[in-house]
Structure 1
């Protein structure tokens, strides 16, 4: 069911957005060569406890997950691009890291993701990270009353295809509110002027993610981590966005 939020409810969602942004800023700052992914998860967990927030991930068990997630942040490394389950791994020089985090504050959820390189970056990694960020910006600009879901999808796809990246539509953006995942689905490819009309009060996570040389993914042995079929690297950017009668509000804006 698609729910529209009142201006007062969107205002009430802002603390969750600020908290999610602060956790991603802190975990990104902590991620460095030699840092263990379990320590990144522990930092996020401690911030949740200190803020009196609730994890959206730890007990999360959708149909595509092998078991409850059991951790509080997704840590996807190199050829892993989504749902990376934190494990005993120390970051190496040049690793491409994607962090995805969602939490509930006072009953309202926000969801956001960021990708970056620790240590010495490869040009190809910087390009694909930049592409997800440009695509996210394009999708946010299209999130306006009078447009349709397809306009967001088409804006994202135009950026990706302009840089010759293929697009997987198995996973994409989604509604956000009292729960982490709701209607509508926001694919990263679609036809402009098609689909659900965008109305004030709709709150969605917009999340472009791309892989270097494929659009096919496989599930890792942990039952969660999604990797590229061909071993190429990927990147992921995401914000929770509220559509209003004016400009869209990026609830998870960082810095």
Structure 2
């Protein structure tokens, strides 16, 4: 069953989404050489507390932290700790969430630590982020779920190949519904699968977390003994971007973007729905 939200419920999700945006802003500033991933987690905890929100990551399935910190070849679900010290040239995906009055927000971004990053890493992040926006632009009333998957995959496949030979669209993880829980139906692939069919019809009130994960090599992953940390099987570095979006009668509303997604969707000719919080 796919949960359909009312405008009032979407407004609550917008509140949670803005807390996530604040976590992103604070952790981006703190992701500097010499910082540990635990330092970033403590920054996120303070933002959540300052906003009177709750963490939807901490304790989820036993997860021991407030955010996921995935460095270099870690795709997703990296656990913050004191041993992982950020170095100049690293890239890190920071995945964060928050709950307001039972309603969830969830979003991720890729940050560059220090300076001097290889051009292929900069391009990897750009391609991953832009594929996410292409997917969001496909979130239209009466489209199907597969239209989002197709938009993400098509954007990535159209890009010039990196020096490593290819972009790997991670196969084992994808986007999801979001609302009164962080992970809900439907599961959203970042590529088109004939086995999955067209998926649900997109109607006002559908809320999705759209999150492409792309590597500079394989699409395959493995999970460490901690049962959380997901790495590429070939050691290739990866990027991860995510936003939570509500579909409304007026169009998409990017719940976790400060401007509701207005600037990044304008090139697609899409007007976002008005911010329910004004």
For residues 48-79 of structure 1, what are the alpha-carbon distances to aligned partners after superposition, in whole Å with 9 as ceiling and x for unaligned? 22222111111111xxxxxx111000000000
Counting matched residue pairs gives 249
What's the offset of the Cα at 1:220? 2.0
User: After TM superposition, what 4+ stretches of structure 1 lie above 4 angstroms from structure 2?
Assistant: none
Match of 1:8? 8
Measure the CA separation in 1 of the matches of 2:26 and 2:230.
24
Match of 2:130? 134
TM-score normalized with structure 1 length: 0.94
What's the offset of the Cα at 1:244? 1.3
Matched, 1:170 2:165: no
What's the offset of the Cα at 1:191? 6.1
Measure the CA separation in 2 of the matches of 1:84 and 1:249.
28
Conservation of the 8 A alpha-carbon contact between 1:136 and 1:237? yes
Equivalent position to 1:219, from 198, 219, 223: 223
Q: What secondary structure, in the 3-state scheme, does the structure 1 residue paired with 2:18 have?
A: helix
Conservation of the 8 A alpha-carbon contact between 1:4 and 1:202? yes
Measure the CA separation in 1 of the matches of 2:135 and 2:215.
18
Conservation of the 8 A alpha-carbon contact between 1:140 and 1:152? yes
Conservation of the 8 A alpha-carbon contact between 1:117 and 1:125? no
Measure the CA separation in 2 of the matches of 1:46 and 1:248.
30
Match of 1:156? 152
Q: Please, which runs of 5 or more residues in structure 1 have no aligned partner?
A: 62-67
What's the offset of the Cα at 1:119? 1.3
What's the offset of the Cα at 1:103? 1.2
For residues 114-168 of structure 1, what are the alpha-carbon distances to aligned partners after superposition, in whole Å with 9 as ceiling and x for unaligned? 0021112111111110011110110000001010000000000011222342222
Conservation of the 8 A alpha-carbon contact between 1:154 and 1:191? no
Match of 1:21? 21
Measure the CA separation in 1 of the matches of 2:122 and 2:226.
28
Match of 1:100? 95
Match of 2:186? 184
Match of 1:244? 248
Measure the CA separation in 2 of the matches of 1:234 and 1:181.
22
| RMSD (Å) for aligned C-alpha atoms | 1.5
How do 1:24-63 residues align onto structure 2 when only pairs under 5 Å count? 24-61=24-61
Measure the CA separation in 2 of the matches of 1:152 and 1:109.
21
Equivalent position to 2:77, from 63, 68, 83: 83
* Greater Cα offset, 200-209 or 83-92: 83-92
What's the offset of the Cα at 1:14? 1.1
